[in-house]
Chain A
Amino acid sequence: MSDRASWGWRWRELLLLGFPCAMLLLGWLSIDLARTGAPDPALWTRWLVFVGLVLGTHGWLAWRYPSADQGLLPIGAALTALSLVVVERLVPALADRQLAWLALALGAMVLALSLLPSIRWLHPWQYTWALAGLGLVGLTFVAGVDPNGSGARLWLGFGDALFQPSEALKLLLVLFFASYLDDKRELLAWGGPRWGRLRTPPLPYLAPLLVMLALCLGVVILQRDLGAALLYFCLFLALLYVASGRASYVALGLGGLLLGGALMERLFDHVRVRVAMWLDPWSDAAGRGYQVIQALVAFASGGVLGSGLTYGYPGYIPAVHTDFVIAAIGEELGLIGSLGTVALYMLWLHRGLAIALTRRSSFSTLLAVGLTSAISLQALVILGGTLRLIPLTGITLPFVSYGGSSLLVNFLMLGLLLAVSAERPVDRHG
């Protein structure tokens, strides 16, 4: 979006930010009114904190990135407002914490954008990104904690706060894939050896990438973080396709995914349970299929209009405020609310790819594609799992699920996408 010259101020963004602010106020008000009949005195302060954070970020962008895309921050803010409403509804004790995480996330985004010399600066550090991510996830093997007893030690504890390295790895992998594929783009497009009608990638050039990918997948699979593994792999395929333009690579990759999935189903009990409960959760409705079924019943109870905030029973779904947050939205805000949430991700997809399609350096393009698809794919993995379209693999719903590290990383990604959009368009092909 290059409307900087004509407007001078980011009016469109400011106007759009009105929606998340109003949404949060309405949501919190109706929760308080339903609970006690009167708004909590602290409600206004908390709301003003949110408004201040969002408008502060907006002001800073107007000063430092006046030409950046004006749709992204409102989308992120709207999803976060939804998150704050749902967390207040489901686990009121955590709402202020989530608000604090939002402050941290927006602060980190502003800080990162202030320090970032240019998008191009990110490019040479490709292996640093990958190894850093790997190192972080590797740390969970020695120092990981499992705060909610899910059986997976996916978090690192810092005093009172928890950090989920697999979230950070998502961003670091985008950086790594984008910079590596940008270097090898020409070679990949030319392709490797031909086997009949199928052309395989030039493996020697892909080897470092595949090794990194295998390491990351191996680590998260060992950690039983199947959702993250699925996300990384799909992200890799998306970027490989955009960099090479070759659908055959994607076909190969998806074949590999199915093969790998089938193999894991044979090898690991927890994968077998996931697949069985995807195919027929009713075979163990009170046990392993309980979560899936309760989520579906919650969706069904919501109907079109929803029960209204606090009038549903999302508490029957285990992990409802993290992985299954969309079921709570579907129950209390109805089909209108759940479709609205999906629409926000569609808008994100639209804005992100629009940025990618503006002619800039190929690295910026790949980075924009990676950042956009990472969020979109993550949303699809958990929404599809919750709705029984694919086997359920636990992962947060970006911006909406309760979780600090998730929010932090997602806003960093949003910031990077803003930075890409603020780059002056160039004519790539001379």
Chain B
Amino acid sequence: MDKAIVRLGTVLLAGFVVVALALGYWQVAAAPGLVDGPYNPRLLAEAARTERGRILDRTSKVLVDNAPAGQGSKRVYALPAAVHVTGYFSPRYGAAGLEQRFDDYLSGARAPSLVDRVRDRLLHERRRGSDLVLTLDARVQAVAAEALGERRGAIVALDPRSGAVLALASAPGFDPNTLDQDWSALQRSEGDPFFNRALQATYTPGSTFKIVTATAAVDLGLVDLDQPFACSKPVAIDLLQVDCRNNAHVPNLTFQQAFAWSSNRTFALAGLALGFPGPMNRWLTDEPPEPYPWKTRGIAASAARLEEYAGRFGFGRSLPFDLPVSISRLKTQPEWTADLLGQTAFGQGQLAETPLQAALSAAAIANGGRLPAPYLVAEARGPDGTVQRLHEPGEDALEQVMSPATAARLQAFMVESVERGYAGKAALVGVQVAGKTGTAEVGAGRTPHAWFVGYAPADKPVVAVAAILEHQGSGSDFAAPAAREVLAAALRR
């Protein structure tokens, strides 16, 4: 019997060894896949047990806080107007905005120090996340949201010297405090309140894009700024008729006046002339020497130059930012045609631009020609008080878009535009404002989008702004006054 007992023992022992190996497999080897898999309810439960970090504005005013609710706590959003920045954090519907993108910090998963992580593991104290300190200014944000009101659109304000975003408003919005109750209604509601228009929507920029065309023309030294030219008759570019309607009351004008009065014909021709030796004034007039050079030598050189300058401003590439940003683009079709290039040069065509990009374009002028890197989250403050700076202001300017001299010239254009041109309603008492309006045609029979981009004070800029109101009408009448409120609020800081 003894032999049989030993054999039985061996078999049973082998059974336990297999069990031990299986334990090792499930607890170690196969563990990562199961833990991160879709069938693990622990992740949410763990999140509910964590005390999430707060979100503060630049003056340490609390934007997002926690309040006790049931066994755990819930998020309280003190400034629903900033919902597209803060996003939301819902156990039922997940997270969005900074709540999602900076979850590592807010949830404490990225504890500032190794000691903290070890202590977490051993002592199981209620995990506390880091607070995020934003560059946002709650007051400016509130003013921006109010300026939009019930209208669809977006306003972005930033400090042109550092790229620090002061306000980022998108309308319609929603109240993240009541998200769980409102969810299905919001899903159905018109205007897609979850959509962050300030970063994700791409609009036809209209005349605000003339900043890019003008920058190229001036920076390349292709235009004689002192010599006026006549602009009273339409010009045909292929099948396209471009007129002088905008500047009808100033038929004889300088390039600066053409900018301030937003002359479409001037800018269509300027765009087409970018690839040829200047001065281009001779082709901007009513009676140019026949034929236009691009008719015989093509548009490739001009298109390349416009693309180059638009690219320097940020078109065609993804901008580094703390929240996802859509790419602004010049066109959708692969090849340039003369009429498309002409339309693009005055801000129509197939252009599509995010409000953030528009604000950055103004900021580049304000910042002496350097495109600042935009950012929103300044620092993370750990529960133990350690501060981790996430951005150094102005440390990584993206690009020298133009020479400082060109920037100074463009600034004069934009000041003229506010002081004498179409952007007059953006003017502030006692402060010189630089700006450019746009009225973006969005199809026959539809009210155009109203645009304004600009900055203030012109001589020592501290805030640049872009405002867009969808289907409201002219930039002068709708966008400029809205942007003015935001500029004023930012200057009161």
- CB-CB < 8 A to B12: which residues of A? 349, 373, 376-377, 380
In the assembled complex, how far is the CB of residue A318 from the closest CB belonging to chain B, in whole angstroms? 13
The answer to whether B39 touches A300 (Cβ under 8 A) is no
For the complex, give the distance between the alpha carbons of A342 and B22 in Å. 11
The answer to whether B28 touches A335 (Cβ under 8 A) is yes
The answer to whether B27 touches A304 (Cβ under 8 A) is yes
Task: Name the one of A241, A373, A383 contacting B19, with C-beta atoms under 8 angstroms.
Answer: A383
For the complex, give the distance between the alpha carbons of A301 and B43 in Å. 10
CB-based nearest B residue for A312: B42
Q: A329-369, CB under 8 A of B: which get 1 and which 0?
A: 01000110011001001100110010011000010010001
Question: Cβ of B31 < 8 Å from any Cβ of A?
Answer: yes
Question: Cβ of B390 < 8 Å from any Cβ of A?
Answer: no
The answer to whether B13 touches A389 (Cβ under 8 A) is no
The answer to whether B27 touches A357 (Cβ under 8 A) is no
Question: Cβ of A316 < 8 Å from any Cβ of B?
Answer: yes
Stretch at the interface among A14-22, A105-113, A158-166, A291-299: A291-299
The answer to whether A384 touches B19 (Cβ under 8 A) is yes
Question: Cβ of A191 < 8 Å from any Cβ of B?
Answer: no
The answer to whether A373 touches B24 (Cβ under 8 A) is no
Question: Cβ of A311 < 8 Å from any Cβ of B?
Answer: yes
Task: Name the one of A303, A312, A338 contacting B31, with C-beta atoms under 8 angstroms.
Answer: A303
The answer to whether A293 touches B5 (Cβ under 8 A) is no
Restricting to B131-158, which residues have a CB under 8 Å from any CB of A?
none
For the complex, give the distance between the alpha carbons of A381 and B121 in Å. 34
The answer to whether B4 touches A242 (Cβ under 8 A) is yes
Task: Name the one of B8, B9, B20, B30 contacting A342, with C-beta atoms under 8 angstroms.
Answer: B20
The answer to whether B45 touches A294 (Cβ under 8 A) is no
- CB-CB < 8 A to A362: which residues of B? 1
The answer to whether B9 touches A299 (Cβ under 8 A) is no
The answer to whether B23 touches A335 (Cβ under 8 A) is yes
Q: B1-22, CB under 8 A of A: which get 1 and which 0?
A: 1111111110011011011101
- CB-CB < 8 A to B39: which residues of A? 282, 285, 293-294, 297
The answer to whether B30 touches A241 (Cβ under 8 A) is no
Task: Name the one of B8, B13, B20 contacting A369, with C-beta atoms under 8 angstroms.
Answer: B8
The answer to whether A349 touches B13 (Cβ under 8 A) is yes
Q: A195-206, CB under 8 A of B: which get 1 and which 0?
A: 000000000000
- CB-CB < 8 A to A346: which residues of B? 13, 16
Question: Cβ of B292 < 8 Å from any Cβ of A?
Answer: no
The answer to whether A297 touches B37 (Cβ under 8 A) is yes
Residue with the greatest number of chain B CB neighbours at <10 A, chosen from A299, A311, A339, A345: A299
For the complex, give the distance between the alpha carbons of A330 and B26 in Å. 10
Question: Cβ of B446 < 8 Å from any Cβ of A?
Answer: no
CB-based nearest B residue for A306: B27
- Known contacts being A316-B42, A380-B16, A389-B19, is A300 close to B8, with CB within 8 Å? no
The answer to whether B4 touches A241 (Cβ under 8 A) is yes
The answer to whether B13 touches A335 (Cβ under 8 A) is no
Q: A96-139, CB under 8 A of B: which get 1 and which 0?
A: 00000000000000000000000000000000000000000000
For the complex, give the distance between the alpha carbons of A346 and B26 in Å. 20
- CB-CB < 8 A to B24: which residues of A? 335, 339
- CB-CB < 8 A to B9: which residues of A? 349-350, 353
- CB-CB < 8 A to A383: which residues of B? 19
- CB-CB < 8 A to A338: which residues of B? 23, 27
Question: Cβ of A55 < 8 Å from any Cβ of B?
Answer: no
For the complex, give the distance between the alpha carbons of A387 and B40 in Å. 17
Question: Cβ of A313 < 8 Å from any Cβ of B?
Answer: yes
For the complex, give the distance between the alpha carbons of A350 and B10 in Å. 10
In the assembled complex, how far is the CB of residue B438 from the closest CB belonging to chain A, in whole angstroms? 52
Task: Name the one of B5, B28, B37 contacting A304, with C-beta atoms under 8 angstroms.
Answer: B28
The answer to whether A34 touches B124 (Cβ under 8 A) is yes
CB-based nearest A residue for B124: A311
- CB-CB < 8 A to B22: which residues of A? 384, 387-389
In the assembled complex, how far is the CB of residue A338 from the closest CB belonging to chain B, in whole angstroms? 5
- CB-CB < 8 A to B3: which residues of A? 245
Question: Cβ of B41 < 8 Å from any Cβ of A?
Answer: yes
Task: Name the one of A34, A353, A376, A387 contacting B26, with C-beta atoms under 8 angstroms.
Answer: A387
For the complex, give the distance between the alpha carbons of A313 and B48 in Å. 13
In the assembled complex, how far is the CB of residue B37 from the closest CB belonging to chain A, in whole angstroms? 7
The answer to whether A339 touches B35 (Cβ under 8 A) is no
Question: Cβ of B431 < 8 Å from any Cβ of A?
Answer: no
Task: Name the one of A294, A311, A349 contacting B16, with C-beta atoms under 8 angstroms.
Answer: A349
In the assembled complex, how far is the CB of residue A204 from the closest CB belonging to chain B, in whole angstroms? 23
In the assembled complex, how far is the CB of residue A186 from the closest CB belonging to chain B, in whole angstroms? 12
- Known contacts being A294-B39, A357-B5, A362-B1, is A339 close to B16, with CB within 8 Å? no
- CB-CB < 8 A to B304: which residues of A? none
Can you list 19 A-B contacts with CB-CB less than 8 angstroms, sorted by A residue number?
A238-B8, A241-B8, A242-B8, A282-B39, A297-B34, A297-B42, A300-B30, A300-B34, A301-B34, A303-B28, A313-B42, A330-B23, A349-B13, A349-B16, A353-B6, A379-B16, A380-B15, A384-B22, A387-B23
Q: Which 7 residue pairs across A and B have the least CB separation, nearest first?
A: A300-B34, A300-B31, A387-B22, A299-B26, A335-B27, A353-B9, A242-B4
Seed contacts A297-B39, A353-B9; 16 additional CB < 8 Å A-B pairs: A238-B8, A242-B4, A285-B39, A293-B39, A300-B32, A300-B33, A301-B34, A303-B28, A330-B27, A339-B23, A350-B9, A357-B2, A369-B8, A380-B12, A387-B23, A389-B19
B positions within 8 Å CB-CB of A? 1-9, 12-13, 15-16, 18-20, 22-24, 26-28, 30-35, 37-42, 45, 121, 124
